[in-house]
Amino acid sequence: MAAPSAEQSIIDVEMKNVDSPAEEVTDSEQKGSDASIILDIRENIRQIERGVATKESRFITRILRTILAIRKDLNSNILTSVVNGFYTHSASEKEFMLSFFDDQMEVESALVPVAGANAQRMRTAKNSSCPLLPEVDAYIHLLLILYLIDQSKYVAAQKCSDALMDKLSAHSRRTLDLIQARSFFYHMRAYELNDQLDACRPLFHAKLRTATLRNDFEGQAVLINCLLRSYLHYSLYDQADKLVSKSVFPETASNNEWARFLYYVGRIKAIRLEYTEAHTNLVQALRKAPQTTAVGFRQAVQKLVVTVELLLGDIPDRLIFREAAMRTALQPYFELTQAVRLGNLHTFSDVLNKFSAQFRLDKTFLMIIRLRHNVIKTGIRAIAASYSRITPENIARTLGLDSAQDAECIIAKAIRDGVLEAIIDPVNGYMQTKELVDIYCTAEPQIAFHERTAFCLELHNQSVKAMRYPPKSYGKDLESAEERREREQQDLELAKEMAEDEDDGFP
Amino acid sequence: MESEESKRNNLKAAKAAFQKLKTEWAKHPPNLDVCGQLLAELKVLLTELQFLHTKIDASEEELILARSCLEIGAQWSIAKKDTASFERYMKQLKCYYLDYKNKLPESAHMYPLLGLNLLFLLSQNRVAEFHIELELLPIDKILNNVYIQHPVSLEQYIMEGSYNKVHTAAHIVPDPTYAIFMESLIETLRNELARCLEKAYPKISVKGAMSILNLPNEKVLAQYSKTRNWVYSDGYYSFSGDVDEMSVDEEMPYVNVAKKMLQYAREMEMII
């Protein structure tokens, strides 16, 4: 291991020497910023090489985190010079990479000599003929795919991604796992933008099998999420549910992947009418999601949370509709909540008609149709609270139901479901509410208290799990113990010396 | 070349068998046993073709042949009142309806059969699967297609409790084949309603019970009331089930409380 790292450091030194003249060549401002980004990319690639040499995934994680910052500034100029600089070993691969820029070649022709001049210096003469590390190769590919996606050249992005997938399948290196996981995501994205999300499913299933066998946790997490996304896009809830139940989502996956996964699971559970589970999953997803960015994701989750809460018979907190990032997106759901709270069927169907296009877009429309009976239940409960005796005819009129007989059946069902405490008097034909028992005599407060305690404990446990500890921090303790021993030794010696001094003091 | 040749022969044989089945099925009334036999033979022939979707490049002709065969199979199982076999046929048909959506022309039987499948799930009280199936269909079809709308509105009536609307809907089925599942659905509903009655009414008149449970005459009602242990006295039925439940509720839930306390203790221990 020592030899390559030594070589690495030599390259580092060499590269730094070369960088300064390259900067001088670019005089205009645009070129200057381009050059600094090229520099960044080169620095990143060096980091990757170091990561591979030391087998430390930490470096690669850091590089992948900077990818979004670089993405904003990418342009064809930067990428051509990076490709020209690094693909010195194989002309065919270079040509393939450059083929994505064909249409812009004429504009860039003035810059090509500059890029060409850089080309020799990106890699040392000694290295330029040997193939690139697969990690570096994948990284440059990834940058290119991102650029093509941002330029809306989706077909080209797909082609490039396909090539990357081919290359990746040829290798089996643990250091590749993290970059590979990221590549899967953008592979899926490229296909999604081409509206062929179902086409990459077989590949992902195969990759998931391999990732599971190799304990590649990040890859597993990304792949499961990609597959779920693809299934849910086509409303294949049955398949998605089976995938969730048959695979294990890795504990150690990153928070973002967890948030996605929990959202998908929440969605599936909501469709399957398991509202309580759906709610817990969605709330967790909201908590794991980044709190300042990812507004779109949080909006989508929040919409679903509101719908599920309504289906559970709860009224969501008014506060969530007030949040600045959420306000406009949640407006339809706010009006929906109000309709349900009032228990008026007419307002409910008004809201449903008014926002039906929006609800369809959010894929919540069918769930919201299910809300109809919740509206009725709330209405009945309100009536039962205000009247002690009322005829079914009157109930039908107040709630906007079709007939008194309907009302009678609905009340009967509500009573059986435990929505209200009442009896129907068959002789005189009215509903009589039972006297309310003192709720503090029942187990009700205890149950409510238990629910809250359980929630707090769960929250505590989750946050303990979510805390991150620096790797190998136990090493520090050991060192300090060693140090202490050393210090104690020194203290002892000092004491001895002092004692000797003292001895000397007394002749 | 040889495999190409044998494939063509297989297709020809399957086609001939399908024609036979079709003519038999078109008879009024069809001979169900003969149809069943023909179906079994045809399925064997189809496995030689692209029936099991191992490859993508199946010709349109083959796919349509397989689909029509399965459609007749599904209808045949309804006629035989064999629900298990109906479910199997529907599972196989779904591939043709959904995965080959863009390749094949839409079948005339598609929505009636899908609606039938929904009703089947509903009558078995498999509501979760019902909703999963529903999500697969486009929303416009759910709201406007007669065949789909029927089970969808039924589900809504059941959820909110307007049972008598279900009874009226039972008489206006969009397709005669729907009747078989409606019967079992109404049977499930009657039990559901009876349970509601026990909870909601202290007692009920014979006439009231008859209209709510949708039973034709007093004799049937009397028979039904026996199965649920209702007590009859001068014109009214009264229910006795409630009393026992109350006494159970009154008891202190010692075990539960102890369990919760132990759980708290453990969690606290972990935190400290």
Give yes or no for B140 touching A (CB within 8 A): no
d(CA B178, CA A229): 35
B241 phi and psi angles, rounded to 5 deg: -60, -30
**What dihedral angle (degrees, nearest 10) is formed by the CA atoms of B162, B164, B170, B173?**
-60
pLDDT at residue A458 in the model: 84
Mean pLDDT of A92-98: 74
B27-65 in b/e burial notation, b at 16+ Cβ within 10 A? eeebeeeebbebbeebbebbeebbbeeeeeebeeebbbb
Q: Between the CA of residue A427 and those of A22, A391, A406, B235, what are the distances in Å?
A: 98, 12, 18, 11
**Which residue of B142, B162, B250 to mutate against A (max A Cβ within 10 Å)?**
B162
Do residues B81 and B180 touch, judged by C-beta distance below 8 A? yes
B236 contacts in chain A (CB < 8 Å): 426
Give yes or no for A271 touching B (CB within 8 A): yes
Percent with pLDDT over 90 in chain A:
4
A14: which 2 tokens? 């060499």
A235: which 2 tokens? 């409303």
Give yes or no for A468 touching B (CB within 8 A): no
Give yes or no for A381 touching B (CB within 8 A): no
How close A296 gets to chain B, by Cα (Å)?
A: 23
CA-nearest residue to A267 within chain B is B132
Give yes or no for A235 touching B (CB within 8 A): yes
d(CA A199, CA B213): 52
Q: Where are the beta strands (DSSP E) in A282-377?
A: none
How close A237 gets to chain B, by Cα (Å)?
A: 6
Residue B165, class by beta-carbon neighbours within 10 Å (0-12 exposed, 13-18 middle, 19+ buried)? buried
Least CB-CB distance to B160: which of A271, A272, A376?
Answer: A376
Residue A503, class by beta-carbon neighbours within 10 Å (0-12 exposed, 13-18 middle, 19+ buried)? exposed
Give yes or no for B231 touching A (CB within 8 A): no
d(CA A341, CA B160): 17
Mean of the per-residue pLDDT values of chain A: 77
Query: How confident is the model over A442-477, as pLDDT tens digits?
Result: 777 888 888 888 888 888 887 887 776 666 555 555
d(CA A368, CA A329): 16
pLDDT at residue B213 in the model: 75
Query: How confident is the model over B207-227, as pLDDT tens digits?
Result: 777 777 777 777 777 777 777
Tell me whether residues B200 and A424 touch, CB distance under 8 A: yes
Tell me whether residues B161 and A372 touch, CB distance under 8 A: no
Candidates A105, A44, A106, A46; CA nearest to A80 is A105
Alpha helices (H) along A129-271 = 134-150, 154-170, 177-193, 201-213, 217-233, 237-246, 255-271
A93 phi and psi angles, rounded to 5 deg: -65, -40
Candidates A239, A173, A223, A175; CA nearest to A47 is A175
CA-nearest residue to A273 within chain B is B128
Tell me whether residues A236 and B136 touch, CB distance under 8 A: yes
Candidates B190, B205, B195, B214; CA nearest to B238 is B205
**Which residue of B54, B102, B114, B199 to mutate against A (max A Cβ within 10 Å)?**
B199
Give yes or no for A361 touching B (CB within 8 A): no
Question: What predicted TM-score, i.e. pTM, was given to this entire model?
Answer: 0.74
pLDDT at residue A267 in the model: 92
d(CA B61, CA B51): 12
A42: which 2 tokens? 């080169």
How close A402 gets to chain B, by Cα (Å)?
A: 10
Number of H helices, E strands in chain B: 14, 3
pLDDT at residue A470 in the model: 65
- Range of weakest confidence among A280-284, B181-185, B235-239: B235-239
Which residue is associated with the tokens 């077989």?
A: A202
Mean of the per-residue pLDDT values of chain B: 75
pLDDT at residue A288 in the model: 84
Which residue is associated with the tokens 């206006």?
A: B172
**Could you tell me the pLDDT band of residue B2, with boundaries at 50, 70 and 90?**
very low
Give yes or no for A422 touching B (CB within 8 A): yes
Percent with pLDDT over 70 in chain A:
81
Query: How confident is the model over A237-254, as pLDDT tens digits?
Result: 888 888 888 888 888 788
Least CB-CB distance to B264: which of A237, A373, A453?
Answer: A453
CA A214 to chain centre: 23
User: Cα-atom radius of gyration of chain B, to the nearest Å?
Assistant: 26
B131 contacts in chain A (CB < 8 Å): 271-273, 366, 370
Give yes or no for A404 touching B (CB within 8 A): no
Tell me whether residues B131 and A410 touch, CB distance under 8 A: no
Alpha helices (H) along A55-176 = 57-73, 76-86, 91-98, 105-108, 112-122, 134-150, 154-170
Q: How many other β-carbons are positioned within 10 Å of the β-carbon of residue A241?
A: 19
Do residues A240 and A268 touch, judged by C-beta distance below 8 A? yes
How close A270 gets to chain B, by Cα (Å)?
A: 10
d(CA A246, CA A388): 52
pLDDT at residue A124 in the model: 53
- Range of weakest confidence among B5-14, B112-121, B144-153: B5-14
Tell me whether residues A366 and B260 touch, CB distance under 8 A: no
CA-nearest residue to B168 within chain A is A406
**Which residue of A416, A460, A467 to mutate against B (max B Cβ within 10 Å)?**
A416
CA-nearest residue to A407 within chain B is B162
A414 contacts in chain B (CB < 8 Å): 161
Has residue A398 got a pLDDT over 50? yes
CA-nearest residue to A238 within chain B is B132
Can you tell me whether residue A382 is helix, strand or coil?
helix
Query: How confident is the model over A353-378, as pLDDT tens digits?
Result: 888 888 888 888 888 888 888 888 88
Give yes or no for A274 touching B (CB within 8 A): yes
For residue A399, give the H/E element and its range. helix A392-399
CA-nearest residue to B269 within chain A is A457
Candidates A149, A135, A118; CA nearest to A22 is A118
Positive or negative: CA dihedral A184, A189, A194, A196: positive
Do residues B34 and B17 touch, judged by C-beta distance below 8 A? no
